[in-house]
Amino acid sequence: QVLQKLGKADETKDEQFEQCVQNFNKQLSEGTRLQKDLRTYLASVKAMHEASKKLTECLQEVYEPDWPGRDDTNKIAENNDLLWTDFHQKLVDQALLTMDTYLGQFPDIKSRIAKRGRKLVDYDSARHHFEALQTAKKKDETKIAKAEEELVKAQKVFEEMNVDLQEELPSLWNSRVGFYVNTFQSIAGLEENFHKEMSKLNQNLHDVLLGLDKQYSGNAFPIKAQPSDSTPAKANKSPSPPPDGSPITSPETKTVNHELEPSTLEAPGASIPKSPSQPAEAAHAGAEAAGSEAAAGAEASKAEADSSSLPAVVVETFPATVNGTVEGGASSERADMPPGFLFKVQAMHDYTATDSDELQLKAGDVVLVIPFENPEEQDEGWLMGVKESDWIQHKELDQCRGVFPENFTERVQ
């Protein structure tokens, strides 16, 4: 190889084979990504199964024994669970296992391609050695014969491997179309059947709940809004004061302040004033005192009514907290975060890493999300981050970071 790089030895070139190798690497990359996305899809199906199961269990708990259709709801819940389980298992059998089998043939071929490269170097080296002995000024027939024998042997080994790969690589490249078609057809068919059967179960549940609603339709329990402490009662409401600022008296005001009826204010030879603007000389002296007390009582009642109709709003400010941590300390906390820290997420489900660049997660793990060094490498639905425990312990970003599926986590900060 050194002589070839220096230009002192010939290097066998095969452009057709190099194109086959490029196609092989592309096919392997596409298949690996498809396998990764398929595993993510299966994990999402499993998570939806668990969520659906919990929801139906909740319905079974709140559905009282004496309600009609209880047995039907139990049967629907059981069929719902079986349908999700069957859907997941068929996806594994008809898509994931097929995918694993398809990718299982690549490591052996990749190893043989690398071995062919090494045998090609051996062949070129033997050929160069043989040619050098033939062109030497002092020829040694014994060495020439031995070099020729080694050349023939190296050529034979290389050509056997080369012929096999020349046949297999194009065939493997062409097989990708049929594999993709079968895989996605299987997924689409399984989804179609699953949603069709699930639609029947949902219709059955709808009919059961409709029957329950009809039986108890006469016993409706309307929900009325209850006045809160901050909402004044209607009796306490008072009309807005007039523009001239004159007080408004009401029957309630008279009752509260025990205002005397006009008849008790009458005195021989005295007349009752018809409006506040009339002079009060004709009124009794006791009537003036009572009137002043009534006016004072009316003012107090008005002020009290106004204060009750417009409740005081006290706004208290508290420092925002996230998971019990005062947000005011975010600046000091962010200083301890890895470079480019974006936000925190918490794992809601366990996730088993399938590649060396993925994070292994357990439910409850907190992950510090950071941006990708190359945004083009980010796949949809995947985040880059480092587990908070690893960062606190090691502070080594390159050794601890990795990618993980976003739908397995929930944002907490």
pLDDT (tens place) for every residue of the chain, 413 residues total: 444 443 444 556 788 999 999 999 999 999 999 999 999 999 999 999 999 999 999 999 999 998 999 899 999 999 999 999 999 999 999 999 999 999 999 999 999 999 988 888 888 888 888 888 888 888 888 888 998 899 999 999 999 989 999 999 999 999 999 999 999 999 999 999 999 999 999 999 999 999 988 888 765 545 544 454 444 444 444 444 444 444 444 444 333 444 444 444 444 444 444 444 444 343 344 444 444 444 445 454 444 444 444 444 444 444 444 444 444 444 445 668 888 889 999 999 898 888 778 898 999 999 999 999 888 888 888 899 999 988 888 888 888 899 999 988 999 86
CB 403 within 8 A of CB 409: no
**Residue 413: per-residue pLDDT:** 67
Structure tokens at 124: 């070129």
* 15-218: in CATH 1.20.1270.60: yes
Ordered DSSP codes for 317-382: ----EETTEEGGGHHHHHHTSPTT--EEEEESS-B---STTB--B-TT-EEEEE--SSGGGPPTTE
Residues whose CB falls within 8 Å of the CB of residue 380, separated by 6 or more in sequence, listed in order: none
**Residue 219: per-residue pLDDT:** 59
Query: Quick one: CA torsion of 372, 373, 374, 377, rounded to 10 degrees?
Result: -40
Q: Structure pTM?
A: 0.49
Query: In the CATH scheme, what architecture does the domain 343-411 have?
Result: Roll (2.30)
Angle at 61 between CA 57 and CA 65, to 5 degrees: 130
69-77: Cβ within 8 A, 24+ apart = 69/208, 69/209, 69/211, 69/212, 72/204, 72/208, 73/205, 73/208, 76/201, 76/204, 76/205, 76/208
Q: What sections of 216-246 are H helices per DSSP?
A: none
CB 98 within 8 A of CB 190: no
Residue 366 pairs with which residues in a beta bridge?
346
Same fold yes or no, 15-218 and 343-411: no
CB 130 within 8 A of CB 155: no
**Residue 258: per-residue pLDDT:** 42
Residue 403 sits at φ, ψ, to 5 deg, of: -95, 155
Q: Where are the domains of the chain?
A: 15-218, 343-411
